[in-house]
Amino acid sequence: MSQPSPTNDRDHISINEARVLAQRAKQAQEKLAEFSQERIDAIVDAMANAAADAAEQLAVEAVDETGYGVTADKIKKNLFSARTIHGFIRNMKTVGVIRRFDERKVVEIAEPFGVVAAVVPSTNPTSTAIFKILIAVKARCAIVISPHPSAIGCITRTADLMANAGHAAGAPEGTVNCMKAVTLEGTRELMSHRDVAVILATGGMGLVRAAYSAGKPAYGVGPGNAPAYIESSADVRKAVRDIITGKTFDNGVLCSSENSVVVDEAIAEEVRLEFKAQHGYFLTIDEISAVSEVLVSPQRLPNPSVVGTTAIQIASKAGIKVPPETRVLLAQLEGVGRDYPLSIEKLCPVLSFYVVEDWHAACARCKEILRYGGMGHTMSIHSKNEDIILEFGLKKPAFRIVVNTPTTLGSIGMTTGLDPSMTLGCGGFGGNITSDNISPMHLLNIKRLAYGLAPANAPPELPVAERRLPQAPPLTTASTLDGDMLADRIDAFLATRTDPQGISSVTPRISTKKEPNATESVEFVCEDDVRRALQTGQTILVNSRTIITPAARDLGEENRIFVHAGLTR
């Protein structure tokens, strides 16, 4: 008897669809790669405008389909992707020559990575789809989206309207694609397909690990579990307001939303009172147990049925009566780890609450929290003490440490100067290839034209940009060299290093100081000065205080270029 197939009919359909869409995207990619910057920008503009126009409807569809979050906040996220992020990337050069470094004679040329496989989560479905489509096409990359099974409708709707807008503006057919028969096997097939060049994966750790094991370059983003530290010098009212704002934004479904509050003991009571004043509810020990059972599965994972719901809804499911105006639930804990279920990432308005002796203890506690599911992601500090703020920046295993602002909004660049993005790299701490906020630049390969600056047989020297004045030889007289004059001479030389033919465009400046028995000695000689003298058949008059680079000395003495003051040649 034959063995049953390891995949079912739905898997076969999904796998086949992944193959078809990857091949379709590859054909579009070959055309897209030849487009000019103007054509690409026109397409991206059209897609961004279409997404912005539909921001409200897409938000409604996302909440209706997934049951997660707040419609008004999803509208903000959709507009953040379609307007703020689009505005940030709009003037980026992503075609042809994107940078020149004239002093090093290096030219950088953008090359699209290729077809992007983009996995989009159910927690932020439409805003993430808008974001990934815009940055992919801006980088001249075709894209295939694998939507979360519980958000296929709203993600497909987003992809279709942006694809139509892009096509009307000149994008090739197949530039934007979205799977409709989604299974894990189909997503794996997409990520490992030979026509896919790079993966953008946002989701749970299992999915992120699958992305990294697909054999392709991948940007994977997992859980956040962000701690928020309120230090003794903080503006307590604002700090509490920022934390509640961040935790309730879209009911906490962003992976960078606050998950724990860490408070200095000296202000702990003030902070508690302020949370209560701003409609936070502190759970009793028994209530903590009840909420833990509702919120956390036996595998220590968030319960999907309460993700993105309100504090009132969570309390009701746990059998707890809370005031009707309650915005967040707070659970004071004594530790972090499996024995403290509410110390994990909580994608809803529930915060763990820790009291510590001082900022040193807070530092240790924040590290524990990040290690329990948020390494490399995000945290916040609320403080007026710049020294302590810097210490947290230096020592915390998080790559976005936002200061006096909500982690949720600060991390994505909505309330800070960080690059606006809906995909946040966690770097080496989180097992990611980058710690950046992802942008079109991460979907480009960079080619470099590098012109020769020195002959192959010349003695090694530092790169032009790193050359420094060598130490002067010991002075033989009590007189000193004019420092300002020498600095001017070197600055003038380096500022006009070479012309396009590699010939020095400056003439060694002649000293106005006069040595006994000699005049017009120069203060500084480099290799280019010697080469110019060779080309023009001249000599260079030096004295005991002239500074000569090693390469210049070797070349000059070999060709008898130097004439020493007081001596004949």
* pLDDT of amino acid 370: 94
Q: Is the dihedral of CA 78, 84, 90, 94 positive or negative?
A: negative
Q: Which of 141, 154, 178, 255 is catalytic?
A: 255
Contacts for 106 with CB less than 8 Å, ≥ 6 apart: 100, 448, 449, 450, 451
What pairing do the DSSP bridges indicate for beta strands 106-112 and 444-450? antiparallel
Determine the Cα–Cα distance for residues 467 and 465; give it in Å rounded to an integer: 6
pLDDT of residue 488: 53
**What is the per-residue pLDDT for 123?**
93
Write down the pLDDT at residue 473.
45
The pLDDT score that the predictor gives to residue 535 is 81
For position 202, what pLDDT does the model report? Answer: 84
Ranges under pLDDT 70 in the chain: 1-7, 204, 461-520, 550-551, 566-569
Query: What is the structure's pLDDT at 559?
Result: 84
Reported as a single tens digit per residue, the pLDDT across 217-227 is 999 877 789 99
Domains of the chain: 9-222+441-449 (3.40.605.10), 226-417 (3.40.309.10), 464-564 (no CATH)
- pTM assigned to the model: 0.79
Q: Does residue 426 have an active-site annotation? A: no
Per residue in 126-161, is it b (16+ CB within 10 Å) or e — as a string?
A: bbbbbbbbbbbbbbbbbbbbbbbebbbbbbbbbbeb
